Amino acid sequence: MERITFQTVHPDTAAADAGQQLANCHCIVIQKSGNYYTIEQHEAGLLSGEGTIGEWLERSGWLPSSAVQAEGEGDWDWRRPVLYVRDNGIDQIVTPAMRIRLLTGYFHTLAETINDSVTAVDREGTVLFWNTTAEETFGISREKIIGQKIGDHFQAESLVLNSVLQHGQIVRGEYHRPNETNHVLINASPVVVDGNIAGGISTEHDITNMMKLNEELDSALPMHIQAKDPFSSITGSDPKLAASLEAARKAAHANMPVHLTGEPGSGKEMMAQAIHFSGSKAAEPFVAMNCSVVPESLLEMELFGYGNDSQTGKLNQARGGTLFIGDIDKLPAPLRDRLFASTEHVRLITASSSPIVLDQTMAITIDIPPLRNRKEDILPLVETFLKEFSAKYNKPMDTISPDAALMFTEHDWPGNVRELRNVIERCVLLGDGPVLTKKHLPEDMARPAKTDEAAAIEQALQKTYGNKSAAATLLGISRGTLYNKMKEYGL
């Protein structure tokens, strides 16, 4: 910020002499009766009459200047220049015009730094500021909109800023559709000066691409089961899985609310589809929403509708059918309560990978065991997926070699059925020949699986931050034994 040159003048100085001193500086400062008075160069013509400058100040009723020691300190009166006063006297003078330029610069820099559209309007709705992001989002240049009424470029009745100007309301994170093309989340506030609304400012976060992606994902919802015999698509002979399937069959015919638990990739959505298509609502919509992939700020709108349009909400889209909510533990408790209270016309199936305490309206909980605990189901699943992807890609890979089969059964499958399915699809897509062999498998599967002892050694090394002596003590073995075992396991 530019610095103003100034001279201090004693209050007993003749007013005419004080005026002459203004020819050599921007401002003179008079300290009188504990107050500071400033007179700027462009005000020199006001210094008329006889007597001292102190007497002139009294006759004219000249306003004193605020004197502060630090930015933001005290009650500033910007009707006159403000003085920064240090121990050794006046350090700097800031005029109202300089302050306005500084604040304007800060505002412009801030508005161009954030990634959202920024709009500022006056009391009549005339656009005063329009940042680069706003230009890019709405396709309207500054030259075409600044100085124009905001309602000339958007539907006036749908403008949040108009409502802000009229009612002084503050808007936070509200869904807004200012035109036929854009979807945004808007924050807006009135600019209040001396208790009166002088204008309004809004920031708009563009979610148009996210909305389009959601629509594409909804239209391309994968069908994991055979609609004619839904539960036959869930392959497995494991007793725990069989018990889960039996409970799911009963729940399907009773149209009961269901909560599914299980590790990621264990097949919870597959089970939800089987329940839906085995029940009386099979001909009605099956609508799915995963709370982990929807931004938290959009969860409420995804469920109950954007703006005042409930038709856009998943709850309404599933009306008469089934609404499947994946990772419901990521849904805030108030929204869960509202959801459970709004399921009169929809059958609700929820799922989570983490433990969660749900409302009592959840009549039955079904757990899907992880694939590593049902080794006997792995090869039948491999055969099922080989048939599926051989047909999909028209590549006849329908059998598996013994060494590859062994690797499939020894792998822990942390990603469960989803990981297995993805591996088979990759093998069929990239492989050649009718037999899936060891060479087709991902590299991480080709590496020998670590034993429990190796895993314990790794864990001990992690706990001791690589200190081998401490790790050996933790494991209850000698340091030499630890070195030998690390070499044996390739650690």
Q: How confident is the model at residue 209 (pLDDT cuts 50, 70, 90)?
A: confident
pLDDT at 200 over 70: yes
Cα separation, 127 vs 147, in Å, equals: 5
The whole-angstrom separation of Cα 193 and Cα 44 is 31
Q: Which long-range contacts (CB under 8 A, 24 or more apart) does 301-308 make?
A: 301/175, 302/214, 303/335, 303/339, 304/338, 304/342, 306/175, 306/177, 306/183, 306/211, 307/174, 307/175, 307/176, 307/177
pLDDT the model gives residue 76: 78
Structural tokens at position 72: 């933001």
pLDDT at 219: 47
Q: Are 49 and 55 in contact (CB under 8 A)?
A: no
Provide Rg for the chain, Cα atoms: 36
DSSP string across 421-453:
HHHHHHHHHH--SSEE-GGGS-HHHHSPPPPHH
β-pairing, 171-176 vs 184-193, is antiparallel
Q: Give domain 114-206's CATH superfamily.
A: PAS domain (3.30.450.20)
Q: What is the mean pLDDT of residues 1-14?
A: 88
Q: So what's the pLDDT on residue 294?
A: 79
Q: Do domains 6-100 and 211-369 have the same CATH topology?
A: no
Write the DSSP symbol of residue 179. S
CA 11, CA 30: separation in Å to the nearest integer?
6
pLDDT digits (tens, 9 = 90+) for 235-287: 788 899 999 999 999 998 887 889 999 988 888 988 999 999 998 888 899 99
What is the tens place of the pLDDT at every residue in 137-155?
999 999 999 999 988 888 7
pLDDT at residue number 122: 92
Query: Is the pTM above the cut of 0.75?
Result: no
Share of the chain above pLDDT 90, in %: 38
Note the CATH architecture for domain 373-446: Orthogonal Bundle (1.10)
Q: Is the pLDDT of residue 220 over 50?
A: no
Nearest-angstrom CA–CA distance, 323 and 345: 10
Alpha carbon distance 473, 7 (integer Å): 78
Residues 475/456, Cβ–Cβ less than 8 Å: yes
- For 452-489, give the CATH class: mainly alpha
Class of CATH domain 6-100: alpha beta
**Cβ(65)–Cβ(83) under 8 Å?**
yes
Give me the pLDDT at residue 414, please: 84
Q: Domain 211-369 classified CATH 3.40.50.300? A: yes
Q: What is the pLDDT of residue 147?
A: 93
Residue 17: helix, strand or coil by DSSP? Answer: helix
For the chain, the structural domain boundaries read 6-100, 114-206, 211-369, 373-446, 452-489
Instruction: Give 367's strand partners.
Output: 261
The pLDDT of residue 6 is 93
**Average pLDDT for the chain:** 85
